[in-house]
Structure 1
Amino acid sequence: MARRSDVVLEEILEAITLIDQALANHTQASFATAIFVQRGTERALEIISEAVRHLPDTLLDVRPEISWVDVRALGNRIRHEYWRVDSQLIWAIAMDDLPPLRTAVTDLLARLRS
């Protein structure tokens, strides 16, 4: 059974919010030593990655500035190539990639609700 896209988008926003809250009091240097926070952030990124897999391409095509293929692939990298995942990569994703992702997901959710 297909999942409702609005519910999936809300789950993505929730995971982004959790990451924002977890990193609010961290610098890149303090994050590098906060292993538990890193793992929690990785888990939230896995959830985002998996959730995007449940969204139809026709919906994602509305926001082509997001590399949805990369978002979908990130979870596999974290799970299956964990030795290649380090705090700098996770920090960069959280700081650089999540803000535009939040904007795109918020827009998609608004379009679905209108």
Structure 2
Amino acid sequence: MKRTPAARLVDIREMIDAVAAMVENVDLRTYRKDLKLRLAVERCVEIVSEASRHISATDKAGFPAVPWPEIAAIGNKLRHEYNRVDDLIVWQVATEALPALRPTIVRLLESASPSES
């Protein structure tokens, strides 16, 4: 079943919130030591990346400060260059980039037409 753009936005918001909950009260050192946590965060980032590819160019154009190409690209890095994943970069995505992206996703969801839900 084909997922609507609004459903993809919900996926992104849910993954951002999941990552926020996972890294709450965790520091980088603890993150680096916890394989399950790293893998879970990486998977959430992959989902955000994939779902972002289904946001329309028009919607993306309304938020030119968002690094849409980089969001799409990080999923490929995690999937295809898994042996070169830098924990610090994923940590920065988890603790800085995703929280910064959330308000944009919420605004896009608020403007999504009911037929897209």
Q: Do these two structures clear the TM 0.5 threshold for a shared fold by scoring above it?
A: yes
Deviations 1:15-54 (A, max 9, x none): 0111011111311111110111000000000000000111
Segments of 4+ moved more than 6 angstroms = none
Counterpart for residue 35 of structure 1: 35
Letter in 1 for 2:84: R
| 1:81, distance to aligned residue in structure 2 (A) | 0.9
SS at match of 1:42: helix
When structure 1 is superposed on structure 2, of 68-77 and 95-104 the one drifting more is 95-104
The TM-score normalised by the length of structure 2 is: 0.90
| Aligned counterparts of 2:50 and 2:95: Cα–Cα separation in 1 | 20
| Aligned counterparts of 1:2 and 1:68: Cα–Cα separation in 2 | 22
Counterpart for residue 47 of structure 2: 47
Counterpart for residue 67 of structure 2: 67
Letter in 2 for 1:104: T
Which one scores higher on RCO, CA 8 angstroms, separation ≥ 6? 2
Counterpart for residue 103 of structure 2: 103
| 1:2, distance to aligned residue in structure 2 (A) | 5.8
Q: Is the Cα–Cα contact under 8 Å of residues 23 and 95 in structure 2 kept in the other structure?
A: no
Structure 2 unaligned blocks of 5 or more: none
Structure 1 unaligned blocks of 5 or more: none
Report the aligned-residue RMSD. Answer: 1.6
| 1:113, distance to aligned residue in structure 2 (A) | 5.0
